[in-house]
Amino acid sequence: MRIDVVTLFPEMFAPLEHSILGRAIEQGRLTVSYVNPRDFTSDRHRTVDDYPYGGGPGMVMKAEPIFLAVESVARPDSAVVLLSPTGRVFKQSIAAELATRDHLVLICGHYEGVDERVREHLATDEISIGDYVLTGGELAAMVVIDAVARLLPGVLGHAESASDESHSHGLLEYPQYTRPPEFRGWPVPERLLSGHHAEIAKWRRRQSLERTAQLRPDLMTSELLAELADDGTKKRGRRRRSTAEPATSAPAEPDTAVLADSTAPEGESPV
Ligand code: 4HQ
């Protein structure tokens, strides 16, 4: 995959050179390049921002340097993604969707934002990494790059493996332990030491279900709630024909009642 990042601050992306992504870049599985809108200005001061029409605080990134920067790298098959608090909120399924593309162009805004014509006439997609305000789109772009790159073929090594963790199957991960079997008096759950693989798999599934219900009730589908309610004492297999199976599996609304802090107002705007 090739990723071109449109940014005034390419130095901010130095962390990508390290660890797993650094290895993926060295192996040529991923190419990340930078294109600076400042290099597409023609005035003496290389101006990339200007005052907002209508007044108000802060500066707005000018349309032309961003259009020229994107147009210098874009191909017919590029996904052109604007990082912005008004975008669709990033999650694993969006990472998986982007990982199928051959070319991403990520536009990082700075200051109070970018001229609206970038969103309207240049970006093909708009992504937010969450409901909080960053000083620029660079950290958001790095989050997207990291989550997408680890899904590319061969990027994760044997020991890392992409399929079996939180959010890839819609459940939170079960608790993990390594040696020693007892640390400061806290033991590793006995089932994990048993070597009984079927029992271990059952225990882990149960832990994942219970954790998800407790910590992220918004992720619980009707199927998962039914599985959670099932105490495992009924006989398996030989299922009888059921009448009226629900057709959909929409996640439940967040159940803030189970959370420690249910006092925060909902729908707080990040912008
Ligand atoms: N930004 N998810 C860039 C964000 C943001 C987010 C604020 C983007 C400032 C100029 N980006 N503007 N949240 O907070 O992606």
C-alpha count within 13 angstroms, C-beta hemisphere, residue 235:
4
Q: What average pLDDT does this structure show over 233-252?
A: 54
pLDDT beyond 60 at 128: yes
Q: Tens of pLDDT along 116-125?
A: 999 999 999 9
Q: Which residues of 31-66 are buried (b: 16+ CB within 10 A; e: fewer)?
A: ebebbbbeebbeeeeeebbeeeeeeeeeebbbbebb
Range scoring the smallest mean pLDDT among 72-81, 97-106, 157-166: 157-166
pLDDT surpasses 70 at 258: no
Q: Residue 179's pLDDT is what?
A: 98
83 lines ligand 1 (CB under 6 A): yes
Between residues 257 and 96, which one has the greater pLDDT? 96
Mean pLDDT across 214-243: 83
Average pLDDT value for residue range 9-23: 97
| 76 alpha carbon – ligand 1 mean position (Å) | 26
Average pLDDT over residues 217-236: 90
Would the pTM count as exceeding 0.75? Answer: yes
Give the pLDDT of residue 259. 32
CB 137 within 8 A of CB 165: no
Which H or E run contains 163? Answer: none
- pLDDT score, position 245: 43
Phi then psi for residue 101, to 5 deg, are: -85, 155
Closest residue by Cα to atom 9, ligand 1, is: 136
**pLDDT confidence band for 233 (50 / 70 / 90):** confident
* Average predicted confidence (pLDDT) for the chain: 89
Q: Which helix (H) or strand (E) holds 104?
A: strand 103-108
Confidence of residue 51 (pLDDT cuts 50, 70, 90): very high
Please tell me the predicted confidence (pLDDT) of residue 235: 65
Residue recorded with tokens 């967040």: 254
pLDDT of residue 244: 47
Residue 159: pLDDT band with limits 50, 70, 90 = confident
Contact 142 CB / ligand 1 (< 6 Å) = no
Is 133 close to ligand 1, i.e. is its CB under 6 Å away?
yes
Please report the pLDDT score of residue 107 as a whole number. 98
The confidence band for 81, taking pLDDT boundaries of 50, 70 and 90, is very high
Top mutation candidate among 82, 128, 271 for ligand 1, by most atoms within 8 Å of CB:
128
**Residue of 7, 119, 131, 134 to test ligand 1 pocket, by largest number of atoms within 8 Å of CB:** 134
Closest CA to 74 of 111, 121, 116: 121
Q: Could you give the CA distance from residue 127 to residue 104 in angstroms, rounded to a whole number?
A: 13
130: left (phi over 0), alpha (psi -120 to 50) or beta: left
Write the pLDDT tens digit of every residue in 137-148. Answer: 999 999 999 999
CA of 7 to the centre of ligand 1 (A): 13
Q: Tell me which of 156 and 247 has the higher pLDDT.
A: 156
Q: What percent of the chain has pLDDT over 90?
A: 79
* pLDDT for residue 267: 42
